[in-house]
A and B are shown apart, each in its own frame.
Chain A
């Protein structure tokens, strides 16, 4: 079917604040190619000078392995293709930022505080990236919230926590061993796409958990205008909240309050 009317996005809508929100990572991802030179040591030292409350974590390098099949003996060639970017971590280890040749990523790890803090810190760090990389245009902007909803011990009814839940085939009502459900949603009248992933994450030393991963993004290029970027992020946040509150059950909501 087609022809859906434009979705009205209401960024003034208020959503419940959840003190125990199950957010394990909140991400703001900006793809924008560095126009200046991108040398690992120079980038490291510039970021270090501008962000005293962050410390260098590691460098992301690109490697390539090639296997040449020869009659006698296969030969393996390993190449280091250079630095893709550097990562820095806040002193409290709750925030990680990636300064990459092809963009900037800010991740907030638990505990998630609130939107204002996430947005404020991401924009502060984006400005640092922008000063160093001097991009001329944003190619992609993403806002992703990954929720990990732990199931109480002995309780394996994930459908009590997220809806719609995965269903076994009508003619074979057997339990799930696992599932991965990806929905890609269009947003009529707006340049956004939403990927929603629901899956089960088994972890040997943690309770079984349902992952609800909401990734709202736009790949429509945007000029470097902070107001336009802020507007997009607010709209994406509204979409993310609609997906989240529309995916969890009352039982789950009570658990997060």
Chain B
């Protein structure tokens, strides 16, 4: 029995394990990470294959010093970049690629755009907090989630709603 991801994963998605210290725990972590990385490299499933990590890196490089926009914008910090990177890694495999952006307060952003009235924007802070806002036709949704490496279910369900497979 396979239940639809958007309906069944009430909590979150991701492959972050509870953290162990034994040889077996480290072995499992390495094996699972390797398997996931290979899928991430494919164009069909992964954000590496789609070039999103490269885009994130390029934007970070361009905006890591203050006043990168000439209007006094804050620099994108190493912490923000790391959280944004982990955010991309945690997206379910096969997710539509977002466009990457940056805000004047130094937050990195990911946007899934379908039309002017159907879109999702997620902003990543240096503390690893996700601020998201979505337009879904006539309704709006927004929220704040602490991010620990697992993708919040609400964000996944909005992406699925925007781009049903």
Interface size class of A (residues with CB under 8 A): 35 or more
Residue of B whose beta carbon sits closest to that of A202:
B27
Assess whether A128 is interfacial by the CB under 8 Å rule: no
Cβ A96 vs Cβ B21 within 8 A = yes
What chain B residues lie within 8 Å of A103 (beta carbons)?
148
Chain A CB count within 10 A is highest, among B12, B21, B23, for: B21
In the docked arrangement, what's the CA distance between A96 and B78, Å?
A: 30
Cβ B11 vs Cβ A98 within 8 A = no
Decide if the interface of chain A is mainly helix, strand, loop or mixed: strand
Interface residues of B in 9-51 (CB under 8 A from A): 9-13, 15, 17-25, 27-28, 31-32, 35
A190-217 CB contact bits vs B (8 Å, 1 = yes)? Answer: 0111010101010100000001010101
Cβ B3 vs Cβ A140 within 8 A = no
In the docked arrangement, what's the CA distance between A33 and B146, Å?
A: 9
Q: How many B residues touch A, CB cutoff 8 Å?
A: 32
What chain B residues lie within 8 Å of A102 (beta carbons)?
148
Cβ B24 vs Cβ A29 within 8 A = no
Cβ B28 vs Cβ A213 within 8 A = yes
Q: Which residues of A contact B (CB under 8 A)?
A: 1-2, 4, 24-25, 27-29, 31, 33, 64, 79, 81, 87, 96, 98, 102-103, 105, 107, 109, 139-140, 142-144, 146, 148, 180, 182, 184, 186, 188, 191-193, 195, 197, 199, 201, 203, 211, 213, 215, 217-221
